[in-house]
Structure 1
Amino acid sequence: GNFLTYGDFPSNGMDDPSGFMIPAGAILNRDLNTIHDVDMNAADEIQEYVSHSWYDYNEGKNEGLHPYAGETNLHYTGPQPPYEHLDVNESYSWLKSPRWKGHAMEVGPLARVLMLYASGHEQTKELVGMTLNKLDVPVTALFSTLGRTAARTLETKIIADAMQGWYDDLITNIKAGDTKTFNEVLWEPSSWPKQAQGVGFMEAPRGGLAHWIVIEDEIIKNYQAVVPSTWNAGPRDSKGQPGAYEAALADNHTLHDPQQPVEILRTIHSFDPCIACAVHLTDPDGTELTSVKVR
C-alpha cells in the first residue's frame, strides 16, 4: 500500500519539480490525502538492502546503503540446479531490496495515477471517477490487480492528450526562433568538475528509474542503477518486508481453480515484469570472464 514516483514530463527543465506533469512524491498506507516529499540525494531516504539477495555489503548484509555509497559484491549462496523451491528465509534473488525511509514501495502506472489523483489533477480525477463508476467499485479497488491494469490504460490517455499541448509549445518556440534540441549546460567536457555526484531519473513505463553516479578526479568511482522492477520484484528486507510482487500475492486470495492458478499470473503480469537486472553471468570459481577498459 506504499507508492513512489520520481516525477516526469517537466515544463521548465528537470531542476524545477513544480513544473512536472507527473508529480514526485510518496504515498504511504494508501493515504491519498498526504503526499510526502522525496529527496533522491538524502542518504537516509532511498536505500538498498541485500539481506535476502545474493550480494554482500562490507558492513554486513542487514545494512541499507544509499546508491551513492552502493556496493555490488556478488555472493551466490543459492541451490544448485535443478531445484524446485527457493528458501525465502535465506538469500533468494539477484535483485536488491530498495526502500524509501524503510518502506517497501510500488512504482509504475498505478503509482503515477495515484500521485496525479492525490495531487488534484482534474483529468485524472475525472477518468478515475468514471472508471470506478462504470465498474461499480470503490476507490479502494484501485489498490489491486484491476486498479494496476486500469491505471496503465488511464495514464496512456492522460499522456497522449498532453502530447498535443507539448507539440503546440514546440511549434511556438520554433516560430519564436528557439531551435535548441538539447540542454547544453555542462555539454563541453572542459566544463566538468573533477569531483561530483548526481542522479538522473525518469518515469519509465514500468516505473521510477534512476541512476546515481559518483565522480572523483574525473573518473567514475561508483555507479548504481535502481530500476523499476528492482523496486517491485525485490526480495524481503532485513525486517521481513516483502516487495510489491510478493505483497500483491499475499493474504490468501481466492483462486477460481487452485489447480490452474491463473490469478497469480494476472497479478504479476499487471506489473509488466522485466527482471533482466536479476540475471547475472558469473563464473562459479570466480574466474574473470572479460575485462572492459574505457579511456
Structure 2
Amino acid sequence: MTHVVVDPITRIEGHLRIEAEVEGGRVRDAWSSAPMFRGIELVLQGRDPRDAWAFTQRICGVCTTVHAIASIRAVEAAIGAVPPPNARLLRNLVMATHCVQDHVIHFYHLHALDWVDLVSALSADPARAATLAQSISDWPLSSPKYFAGVRARLRALAESKQLGPFANAYWGHPAYRLPPEANLMAVAHYLEALDWQREFIRVHAILGGKNPHLQSFLVGGMATPVDPDRAASLNAGSIAAMRKLVASAREFVSKVYLPDLLAVAAAYLDWAGHGAGVGNYLVYGEYPEADGPNAPLYLPAGVIRGRDLSKVERPDPAKITEEVEHAWYAYPAGARALNPSEGVTRPVYSGPRPPYERLDTSAKYSWLKSPRYDGLPMEVGPLARVLVAYASRHEAVRKAVDGVLQRLKVGPEALFSTLGRTAARAVETLVLVDKMGEWVEALADAMARRDRRICDTARWDPASWPARASGAGFHEAPRGALGHWVRIEDRRIANYQCVVPTTWNAGPRDAAGHRGPYEEALVATPIADPARPLELLRTVHSFDPCLACGVHVVDARGRALGEALET
C-alpha cells in the first residue's frame, strides 16, 4: 500500500491537502484537510448588521458576490426587508454573470489541464487541428493559420523555460488520452477564454462599479440607480452594453465551451464511472422570479438522497447541522452537532505543526467542520443543481442535459461521476446565459415604465427593528449551497455563522465515521502512478474547491495558531 500526499492542491482558491492510501492501483481510502483557519464569524461580532455583507464579500476574491448576497438575505430575513423588483433583477444579473464567468474559468483554467496535455500539443498538425475544430463548431477562430500561431506561442513559452501557470503539472502522464490536435485546440481555447472572461465580467462593472467585490449591494435592495434619463444611472446605454455582452457569452458558451466539453468527455467516458461520491445532493435554489421570501425560483431547491431521481424533497434548514469530531474546533459540553442558528466558532488547534508528513486522521485533522443534512453528508454544487432541476422537470435543464447525454451516448446514471460533475457546469452555464437575456429585457421594460425603485427603505432604520432578531440567507454560489445565519441583539451582530459550499464538500469525517464528499468521491479512483496522482486531481478539481471560503484568516505576525487565537 502506498500513502499519497498532495499538498497543496493547486489550481484552486486557497489551501487544500489530500491524503490517500493507494492499493492495487486504486484509492482505498482518502482524507481531505483544510490547513488554514477561517475567522470571519468572529470578526463580525458586535458590528452593524447592515455592514456584514461588505466584510463577508471579502471572504474570497474568486467567490466575489456570493457571500455578499447570502449575508444581505440573512439580515433582510431578520429585519423583514423586501427588495423591490428592480433590485431582484439586478441581483439575478449580478449572480448569473458571476456564475457564468466562474464556470468558464473553472473548465479552462482550473480543470482542463487534468485532461489536456500541453506537451502533446507541441507536436500537433495545425491543419488537422483546424479540421477537428471545424467539425464540432462554426467558431470563426478555427483556421490552420490560427492554430499554427497558437502552436508557435506555446513552443516559444516552452523554450523560454518560464512556464508560468503551466509549470506544475504531470505532462506526458499515461492517463492523458487526447490526440495532439485536440490538445492544441484546447490550449487555443484556454487562451481565448482568458480574453473572453475579462470582457464578459464588465457586466459587474456596469451593475456594481467593479469586479471583484461589487459596491452596489445594499440591505433591502441595491444601490445602483435605474433612470433612463440620467447618464450616471443605469440607462438605455447600459442595457445595450449588457445585451451585447450576454450575446457574446451565449456565442462563446454554445460554440466553444460546450463543444470542447463534449470533445474532451468523449475521450474519457470511463470517468462517468469514477468519482460518484456520497450520492446525496442539497440545493437551496436560486434566482427568484417574483418578490418576497417565498417567491418561486428559476433553479429549484431540493434534496436528493441515494441518487434517487424519482423523489426530490424540499430542503428544511432545521435539518442542517455541523459536527467537529475531526475539525479543530470545540463545542459546548454535550453538544455533538449544532444547527448553524446556534452555531459556535471556537477554534482549538491540536494538530501537528506544519510542515508535517502525515495527518493523524484518527483525531482532528481539518479546519473545516462537517456539515450534515438530516445526519447525512451532502454534495452541493452544479451537479446537485442540475440533478434537482432535471428531476423536477425543469424544461431548459432537461433539454440541455438530454442533449449532452445523447451526444455522448450515455444515460442519466453517467451524471453521478467526476465527468458528470464537469458536464453539469457546462449545462448550467448554457441555461443561465439564455435566461440572462430575459432579465436584461425585464430591466429595460421597468425603465420604459419609469419604475426607479431599487431599495426597501422602510426597514433601513435600526429603530424599526425588534430588540432581538435572527435570520438565515441562502444562495446557490457557483460551487454550491451557501448559507449565512445571523443573530441580532440591540441592533448589533451577536452571532454569525457561514456554512459554505466547500465546507459541505471538503469537510472531514463526522462522528459516525461517514466520509465527506471529497473523501468518498476519491475512493476506488484508479491511480496509474502514485508518484504523479493526476487522476486524484481530476476528481478533486471537478468540485472546484474554494478553501478561501472555508478557511481564510492567518496570523500575519507569524505566531502559532493556538497562541494567536487565545489572545
Q: Does 1:34 align with 2:304?
A: no
User: Residue 15 in 1 paired to residue 293 in 2?
Assistant: yes
Q: 1:73 aligns with which of 330, 346, 354?
A: 346
Distance 1:244 1:285 in 2: 27
Question: Normalising by the residue count of structure 2, what TM-score does the alignment of the two structures yield?
Answer: 0.48
Provide the TM-score with structure 1 as the length reference. Answer: 0.91
Cα distance in 2, alignment partners of residues 138 and 256 from structure 1:
27
Question: Which residue in 2 is equivalent to 1:223?
Answer: 496
Q: Distance in 2 between matches of 1:12 and 1:157?
A: 22
Per-residue displacement from partner, 1:228-278 (whole Å, max 9, x unpaired)? 10001000111111111111101x222344442211101111111111223
Q: How many positions carry a matched residue from both structures? A: 285
Q: Which region of structure 1 is more displaced relative to structure 2, 169-178 or 122-131? A: 169-178
Partner SS, residue 37 of structure 1: coil
Query: Which residue pairs with 1:266 in the alignment?
Result: 538
RMSD after superposition: 1.9
The one-letter code matched in structure 1 to 2:281 is F
Task: Give per-residue Cα distances to partners, 1:82-111, cap 9 Å, x unaligned.
Answer: 311112211000000111111100111111
The C-alpha deviation readout for 1:184-207, integer Å capped at 9, x for no partner, is: 452222222211000112111111
* 1:197 alignment partner, SS class: strand
Alignment of 1:48 with 2:325, yes or no, is no
Given the alignment of the two structures, is residue 240 of structure 1 paired with residue 518 of structure 2, yes or no?
no
2:95 maps to 1:95: no
Where is the strand percentage greater, Structure 1 or Structure 2? Answer: 1
Report the CA distance between 1:290 and its aligned residue.
Answer: 11
Of residues 181-190 and 29-38 in structure 1, the stretch that sits farther from structure 2 once superposed is: 181-190
Letter in 2 for 1:51: E
1:207 aligned residue: 480
Other-structure match for 1:181: 454
How far apart in 1 are the matches of 2:561 and 2:322?
Answer: 27
For 1:162 and 1:278, the matched residues in 2 are separated by 33
In structure 2, how many angstroms separate the alpha carbons of the residues matched to 1:264 and 1:285?
29
Contact 2:397 2:431 in 1 (8 A): yes
Q: Which amino acid aligns with 2:379?
A: E
3-state SS of 1:73 partner: coil
Considering Cα pairs closer than 8 Å and 6+ residues apart, tell me whether 1 or 2 has the greater RCO: 2
User: Could you tell me the percent identity over the aligned residues?
Assistant: 49
Q: Which runs of 4+ in 1 moved over 4 A?
A: 285-291
Contact 2:405 2:411 (C-alpha < 8 Å) held by counterparts: yes
1:57 aligned partner: 331
Give the 3-state SS of the residue equivalent to 1:99 in structure 2.
strand
**Partner residue in 2 for 1:120:** 393
Higher helix share: 2
1:281 equivalent in structure 2: 554
Whole-angstrom CA distance in 2 between matches of 1:289 and 1:246:
28
Q: 2:371·2:377 contact (CA, 8 Å) conserved in 1?
A: yes
Q: What CA deviation, in whole Å up to 9, does each residue of 1:94-136 have, x standing for no partner?
A: 0001111111001111111111101101121111111112112
Corresponding residue number in structure 1 for 2:282: 4
Q: For residues 134-149 of structure 1, what are the structure 2 equivalents within 5 Å? A: 134-149=407-422
Change (3 A) 1:187 1:133: same
Mind listing any 5+ residue stretches in structure 2 that lack a counterpart?
1-278
Q: 2:52 is matched with which residue?
A: none
CA contact (8 A) 1:93 1:278 kept: no
Answer with 106-115 or 281-290: which moved more: 281-290
Q: Which amino acid aligns with 1:268?
A: V
Cα pair 1:94 1:279 within 8 Å, conserved: no
- Cα separation, 1, equivalents of 2:459 and 2:310: 39
Aligned residue in 1 for 2:525: 253
* CA distance in 2 between partners of 1:221 and 1:286 (Å): 24
Letter aligned with residue 368 of structure 2:
L
Instruction: Letter of the 2:525 partner, please give it.
Output: H
**Whole-Å separation in 1 of the counterparts to 2:436 and 2:410:** 30
